[in-house]
Chains A and B, each alone.
Chain A
Amino acid sequence: MLTRLTLGQKTVYYSLLVLLAVFILFPIYYMFTVSLKTPRDIYRVPSLLVPNPTTQNYVDLFGKQDFLQSIGNSLLVATAATVISVFISVLAAYSLVRLKYRFRDGFSRLILFSYLTPSALLFIPLSVIIARLGLANTLQGLIFVYLTFSAPLSTWLLMGFFRSIPMDLEEQAMVDGATRLQAMYRILLPLSTPGLVAVSVFTFTGAWNELLLALIFITSPEKRTVPVALQYLITGDTFRWGLIMAGSVAAAVPVMVLYYLAQRFVVQGLAAGAVKS
Chain B
Amino acid sequence: MAHQARPLAQGQKAQSGLTLHQRNSIFGYALVAPVVICLLALVFYPFVFAIWISFTDQIVGGQAKFIGLGNYIYLAKTPSFQKTIVNTIVLVASVQGLKLVFGLGIALLLNQPIRGRQIWRGLVLLPWAMPAFVAYLTWKLMYAPNGGAFNVMLDLMGIPIQLDFLSRELAMPSVILATFWRGFPFWVISFLAALQNIPQELYEAAAIDGATTWQRFQHITIPSIRHVILVVVLLSTIWTTNGFENVWLLTQGGPSDATMTFPVLSYFGLQSLRIGEASAVSVAMLPVFAMLAFIIVNLLKED
Q: Bits for B169-189, please: 1 = Cβ < 8 Å to A, else 0.
A: 000000000000100001001
User: Is A17 touching B114 in the complex (CB atoms < 8 A)?
Assistant: yes
User: Is B129 touching A256 in the complex (CB atoms < 8 A)?
Assistant: yes
Interface: B90 (CB within 8 A): no
User: Is B152 touching A47 in the complex (CB atoms < 8 A)?
Assistant: yes
User: Is A234 touching B140 in the complex (CB atoms < 8 A)?
Assistant: yes
Contacts of A118 in B (CB 8 A): 238-239, 241-242, 263, 285, 289
User: Is B112 touching A91 in the complex (CB atoms < 8 A)?
Assistant: no
Q: Bits for A261-277, please: 1 = Cβ < 8 Å to B, else 0.
A: 00100110011001111
Q: Bits for B114-141, please: 1 = Cβ < 8 Å to A, else 0.
A: 1000001111111101111111011111
Contacts of A30 in B (CB 8 A): 138, 141-142, 149
> Which single member of A3, A14, A101 contacts B114 (CB below 8 Å)?
A14
> Which single member of A43, A47, A91, A125 contacts B46 (CB below 8 Å)?
A125
User: Is A151 touching B38 in the complex (CB atoms < 8 A)?
Assistant: yes
Q: Which of B114, B131, B285 has the most CB of A within 10 A?
A: B131
Tell me, rounded to whole Å, the shortest Cβ–Cβ distance linking B143 to chain A: 11
A116 in contact with B46 given A46-B156, A147-B38 (CB within 8 Å): no
B side interface size, CB within 8 A = 111
Interface: A122 (CB within 8 A): yes
> Which single member of A26, A100, A114, A263 contacts B122 (CB below 8 Å)?
A263
Contact count band on A? 35 or more
Interface: B1 (CB within 8 A): yes
Contacts of A102 in B (CB 8 A): 25
Interface: B266 (CB within 8 A): yes
Stretch of A57-65, A105-113, A192-200 with 4 or more beta carbons under 8 angstroms from chain B? A105-113
Complex-state Cα separation, A119 to B282, whole angstroms? 10
User: Is A120 touching B282 in the complex (CB atoms < 8 A)?
Assistant: yes
Interface: B39 (CB within 8 A): yes
Complex-state Cα separation, A87 to B197, whole angstroms? 32
Complex-state Cα separation, A112 to B193, whole angstroms? 22
Contacts of B42 in A (CB 8 A): 122, 126, 129, 144-145, 147-148
Interface: A7 (CB within 8 A): no
Complex-state Cα separation, A112 to B45, whole angstroms? 16
User: Is A125 touching B25 in the complex (CB atoms < 8 A)?
Assistant: no
Contacts of A69 in B (CB 8 A): none
Q: Bits for B28-44, please: 1 = Cβ < 8 Å to A, else 0.
A: 11111011101111111
Interface: A212 (CB within 8 A): yes
Which residue of chain A is the closest to B34 with respect to CB atoms? Answer: A88
Contacts of B21 in A (CB 8 A): 100
Contacts of B197 in A (CB 8 A): 277
Which residue of chain B is the closest to A271 with respect to CB atoms? Answer: B193
User: Is A211 touching B245 in the complex (CB atoms < 8 A)?
Assistant: yes
Contacts of B269 in A (CB 8 A): 124
Q: Bits for A208-233, please: 1 = Cβ < 8 Å to B, else 0.
A: 11011000100000000001001100
Using CB atoms and an 8 Å cutoff, list the residues of chain B in contact with chain A: 1-3, 6-9, 21, 24-25, 27-32, 34-36, 38-47, 49-50, 53, 106, 109, 112-114, 120-127, 129-135, 137-142, 144, 146-147, 149, 151-153, 155-156, 181, 186, 189-190, 193-194, 197, 200, 203-204, 207, 228, 231-232, 235, 238-239, 241-242, 244-245, 248-249, 252, 262-263, 266-267, 269-270, 275, 278-279, 282-283, 285-286, 289, 292-293, 296-297, 300, 303
Using CB atoms and an 8 Å cutoff, list the residues of chain A in contact with chain B: 1-5, 9, 13-14, 16-17, 20-21, 23-28, 30-31, 34, 42-43, 46-48, 88-89, 91-92, 94-96, 99-104, 107, 109-114, 116-129, 144-145, 147-148, 151-152, 155, 167, 170-171, 174-175, 177, 180, 205, 208-209, 211-212, 216, 227, 230-231, 234-235, 241, 244-245, 248, 251-252, 255-256, 259-260, 263, 266-267, 270-271, 274-277
